[in-house]
Amino acid sequence: MELEYFTSREKELLGQRYEALHTPLEAAPARGLTVNGLRPGARAAVEGCGLALAPSPFCPQGCRLTDPAQRPGLHPYHKAGVYYLQEPSASAPVPLLGVEPGCRVLDLCAAPGGKSSQLASALSGQGLLVSNEYDPARAAVLRGNLERMGVPNALVLNETPDHIAGALPGFFDRVLVDAPCSGEGMFRKEPQAMAQHNPGLVAQCARRGAEILEAAARCLAPGGRLVYSTCTFAPEEDEGQIGRFLSLHPEFTLEDCGASFGSPGEENRLCGYAADVSRMRRIWPGQGGEGHFMACLAKSPDAPAEARSGKGRPKREKPAKTPPLWAEFAARYFPALAGERALEAGGRVYILPPALPAEALAGGLRVMRAGVLAGSLSKGRFEPDHHLFMVWGAGCENREELTLADERTAAFLRGEEIEARTAGAGYCAVLVDGFPLGFGKVSGGKVKNHLPKALRNLK
Ligand code: SAM
């Protein structure tokens, strides 16, 4: 019954264009994947791995999945972070942000991590990605996905946008707000989104989106760029939200998205505010994706500096001492990491991104992961972690090299011990066609499986 509100609103706003732009809700949803730029050779591997693919108009790294019967989430390349399953239109906002290696980037609403993974690819391991998720359970999923994708330079937070703005005001060159929304573009993918939809939800999401945008604006450095996106069509969450924000923030201008896909924003969705909708971008279901709205906002280089409002002042960072057991392990297995900035905290060793500032760790923020978890120190020994191998496994000195055709690949993913053919005794990275799946420990010609239990393929 509530769908009546959605369909009658859309028919009224779109008139004769309704049928062409909103394809039937019963149709199969568009599916896609985005290739991970952090895995060298990923594009060619994806194209040759048996998945039925077509190019995506929304993002150069995106592909449409054209065979609804295929299950790409079970493919070994998915486990190896060669690609991220992402609805095609959801890949469109990140390229608009213009992220370059070395930028400081904030993804404020990041779980499960599709857009953070794209941002990490654009950074190529340089600079810093702060990837935040408000919901604790979803933040854990985000951490797992960034681990799978081999991201070396992320700070994963479980915070409110307000706290981040208080701790790191004006810190970021780029901010993405992929707002929690009423999800009208999810109706075909998640029937629950349809069942929960009502006008009150739209109003509530619009208010929350406005609050998140305020915090995002404080996080952004003068001269920086912010992209706001939703997967809904509701006027007050889209064009109206941007119009309202611009009316309150003269220090921001609306930039042209400069995109050739989809269509411009819609004048009759501005909710009475004034803004140039031709600079905004929409993707409708009739244009090959489930639906996305996006707008690019630039903060004036002359905007006043934002004040810090977190708890106290950040503590001065003590010079980190490399834990000797880690240094010994690194010298044997990862000599290229021996000089990296390592931090020991609570018996765990982290390799920190050089661009991570002291405020980020000392500002009272709830940190889910800082950089790469190399491993833990226990009973006078260093035990490496899955994360280390997912990021740098291809460069490990001791490797068990598998291929898609090798039956040991599926066995390893099931958590079984496999025969060692290329790795010598000790810890080893386990790779499929050169992409990391995890690690094991070789002894007596066998690789003992160290794949975390939660990641094992039990089917
Ligand atoms: N960007 C993600 C991706 O590409 O995988 C999808 C993000 S989803 C559209 C929006 C996220 O915002 C959800 O994970 C939701 O839990 C989170 N969220 C909910 N309430 C929030 C709040 N008050 N502030 C920030 N984020 C919130």
- With a 6 Å cutoff on the Cβ, whether 161 touches ligand 1 is yes
Distance 114 CA to ligand 1 centre (A): 11
- With a 6 Å cutoff on the Cβ, whether 147 touches ligand 1 is no
Residue 189's nearest CA partner among 73, 67, 117, 289 is 289
Task: Name the residue with the closest Cα to ligand 1, atom 19.
Answer: 180
pLDDT in tens, 270-302: 999 999 999 999 999 999 999 999 999 999 999
Task: Output the six-digit token pair for 173.
Answer: 């060159």
Which atom from ligand 1 is nearest to the alpha carbon of 111?
14
Cα separation, 95 vs 113, in Å, equals 15
Residue 48 to residues 43, 45, 424, Cα–Cα distance (Å): 9, 5, 30
- With a 6 Å cutoff on the Cβ, whether 114 touches ligand 1 is yes
b/e map of 183-221 (b: 16 or more CB within 10 Å)?
A: bbbbbbbeeebbeebeeebbeebbebbbebbebbbbbbb
Task: Name the residue with the closest Cα to ligand 1, atom 16.
Answer: 135
| pLDDT at position 195 | 86
Which residues of the chain, if any, have pLDDT below 50? 1
Pick the CATH number of 401-455 from 1.10.10.10, 1.25.40.20, 2.30.130.60, 3.40.640.10: 2.30.130.60
- With a 6 Å cutoff on the Cβ, whether 149 touches ligand 1 is no
Cα separation, 276 vs 118, in Å, equals 28
| pLDDT at position 309 | 77
Confirm if 87 and 178 have CB atoms less than 8 A apart: no
Q: Hey, how many other C-beta atoms are within 10 angstroms of the C-beta on 126? A: 14
- With a 6 Å cutoff on the Cβ, whether 183 touches ligand 1 is no
Length of the chain: 459
* Stated pTM of the model: 0.97
Cα separation, 205 vs 185, in Å, equals 14
- With a 6 Å cutoff on the Cβ, whether 85 touches ligand 1 is no
Distance 111 CA to ligand 1 centre (A): 6
Which atom from ligand 1 is nearest to the alpha carbon of 212?
24
Q: Does 231 participate in catalysis according to the annotation? A: yes
Cα separation, 208 vs 162, in Å, equals 12
pLDDT in tens, 9-66: 999 999 999 999 998 888 889 999 999 999 999 999 999 999 999 999 999 999 999 9
Mutate to test the pocket of ligand 1, among 61, 84, 109 (most ligand atoms within 8 A of CB): 109
Residue 90's nearest CA partner among 181, 24, 157 is 181
Residue 105's nearest CA partner among 181, 212, 210, 219 is 219
Q: Which of 231, 296, 396, 428 is catalytic?
A: 231
| pLDDT at position 178 | 98
Domain boundaries, the chain: 324-352+374-389, 401-455
φ, ψ for residue 169, nearest 5 deg: -70, 135
Residue 110 to residues 34, 38, 161, 218, 238, Cα–Cα distance (Å): 16, 18, 11, 18, 19
| pLDDT at position 1 | 45
Confirm if 176 and 229 have CB atoms less than 8 A apart: yes
